[in-house]
Amino acid sequence: MKIAFFEVEDWEEEYLKKKLNGHVLKFSNEKLSLENAPQIKDFDAVSVFIYSKIDEQIIREIPNLKLITTRSTGFDHIDIEKCKKQGITICNVPSYGENTVAEHTFALILSLSRHMCKACIRRFEQDFSIEGLEGFDLKGKTIGVIGTGQIGLHVIRIAKGFGMNVVAYDVRQNKLLSEVLGFEYATLEDLLARSDVITLHVPYMKATHHLMNKDTFKLVKRGAILINTARGSIVDTEALIEALDNKILAGAGLDVFEGEEVIKEEKQLLYDPKNLEVLNNLVKDHILLSKDNVVFTPHIAFYSKEALERILETTVENVVAFVSGKPQNVV
Ligand code: NAI
C-alpha cells in the first residue's frame, strides 16, 4: 500500500519505517491540506492527527483513497458521511491514553484549586507573597463528570482517590460500573447544580455542540470550576467568558477551545478579509486566555511519551488489519 503520514515527528517516522517495512511510505510534518494533497494523488491510505481537516475537497484530490487512520480518539476532523459514500474506511485509536488525559484533567484542576500558574508566574517577578493564593481542598468536594467513557471513568477513579464525591451524566449509563466505582448518575441539570468541579469528556458532535451555553451556565453552582479536555466547540466561548465575568465560574481549565487550530496561524488570517468570523472567534479566545483564572494548555492532554508510543502501535495495527482484510477500530 502507498501510505502518507502527516503531522509526524522524526522519531515517529523512524518507528513507522521499521514497522511498516514493505509498504511505500511518505512522511510530512505538515498537516494534510489542499496544497499538499495533489502530491499524494495515487496513495491508498493517509494517516493524520487532528489538525488535518479531511473534507470533501481533500477526498476528491486523492481518488484512490481507501483508508484514513487517524492517530487520535476523536474523529470530528474527518467528513465521515463523505467517506462512507466513497467507501473509505476510517480507523481511529480508541484508547491510548485514558489515564494520560485523565491525569492532565487533574493537572488543570489542581492548577486552579491551588493557584499553581499564578504562584509560578510570581516567582519570575521576585514576588514571594501568598496573597490571593489561598486554594481549596478537593477532598469532600463534588466533581461532575460529563461523559463516562474511557477517559471519564478514569477521571472518576482518580477523583475517588482524592476523596471527592462523584456525579456523572451520560446518554448511556453503566450502572454496574457506577456501583463498583461508587458514583451516581444524574441529569445534566442536577449535575451542574451540584458540582464544584465540572469536567467534560464527551465527543464533539451535533448533539454536544455548545453543550455548555448561556442557558446551561445559568444552572451551574456559583463558584464552580469548569475543565475542558474534550473539544473546544462543546463550550460556547462567549457564554464561558460571561460565566467567568459574572463569577458563576471561579475558573476554567482548558486544554481545548474553539478556534484553537487557527490561533497558531493567526497572522496569516489578518491578510484575508474572508476570515471575519474566524477573527471574531480569535478575539474571544484572546479575551478568554488573558483572564488570570483561566488555565490553558495547548491541546496536550494526550501528549505523554507513553501515550504517543501506544498511538503509533495501534496505528500500525490498524494498517496491518486493513491490509489483511479485517479492519479494526473502524469508526
Ligand atoms: P468515549 O467514546 O470512551 O466516551 C465518550 C462518552 O460520552 C460515552 O460514554 C458516550 O456515551 C458519552 N456521550 C456521547 N454523546 C453524549 C451526549 N450527547 N451527552 C452525554 N454523553 C454523551 O471517549 P473517550 O475516550 O472517553 O474520549 C472523550 C473525548 O475526549 C474524545 O471524543 C475526544 O474528543 C477527547 N480527547 C481529547 C484529548 C486531548 O488531548 N485533549 C485526547 C483524547 C480524547
Neighbours of 129 (CB within 10 A): 7
Residues 247-274 have pLDDT tens digits of 999 999 999 988 777 666 555 555 566 6
Tell me, using a 6 A CB cutoff, whether residue 111 lines ligand 1.
no
pLDDT of residue 265: 57
Return the active site residues: 231, 260, 299
Q: Is 33 within the bounds of a domain?
A: yes
User: Are residue 110 and residue 85 in the same domain, yes or no?
Assistant: no
Higher pLDDT, 188 or 273: 188
**232 and 91 fall within a common domain:** no
CATH number of domain containing 29: 3.40.50.720
Same-domain status, 79 and 111: no
Q: Which residue range is the domain that position 10 belongs to?
A: 2-96+306-323
Q: Are 252 and 275 in the same domain?
A: yes
Ligand 1 midpoint to CA 290 (Å): 28
Q: Report the domain count for the chain.
A: 2
Q: Are residues 46 and 117 in the same domain?
A: no
Same domain, 88 and 186: no
For residue 269, what pLDDT is reported?
Answer: 55
Residue 202 is predicted with a pLDDT of: 97
User: Which pLDDT belongs to residue 272?
Assistant: 62
Contact 185, 176 (CB under 8 A): no
Q: Note whether 17 and 107 are same-domain residues.
A: no
pLDDT in tens, 193-242: 999 999 999 999 999 999 999 999 999 999 999 999 999 999 999 999 99
* 138 and 248 fall within a common domain: yes
Q: For residue 322, what is its C-alpha cell?
A: 486493513
Q: Tell me the pLDDT of the chain averaged across its residues.
A: 94
Q: Pocket of ligand 1, candidates 201, 205, 254, 314: which has the most ligand atoms within 8 Å of its Cβ, to mutate?
A: 201
Nearest to 134 by CA among 295, 250, 294, 291: 250
Q: Which ranges in 125-234 belong to alpha helices (H)? A: 150-161, 175-181, 188-194, 214-217
Q: Is the pLDDT of residue 321 over 90?
A: yes
How far from 172 is each of 177, 185, 210, 216, 294, CA to CA, in Å?
12, 10, 19, 20, 31
149 close to ligand 1 (CB < 6 Angstrom): yes
Tell whether pTM > 0.85.
yes
- Specify if 328 maps to a domain: no
Q: What is the spatial distance between Cα 33 and Cα 191, in angstroms, rounded to a whole number?
A: 41
Q: Evaluate: CB of 65 within 6 angstroms of ligand 1.
A: no
Nearest protein Cα to ligand 1, atom 20: 170
Residue 329 included in any domain: no
121-168 tens-digit pLDDT:
998 899 999 999 999 999 999 999 999 999 999 999 999 999 999 999
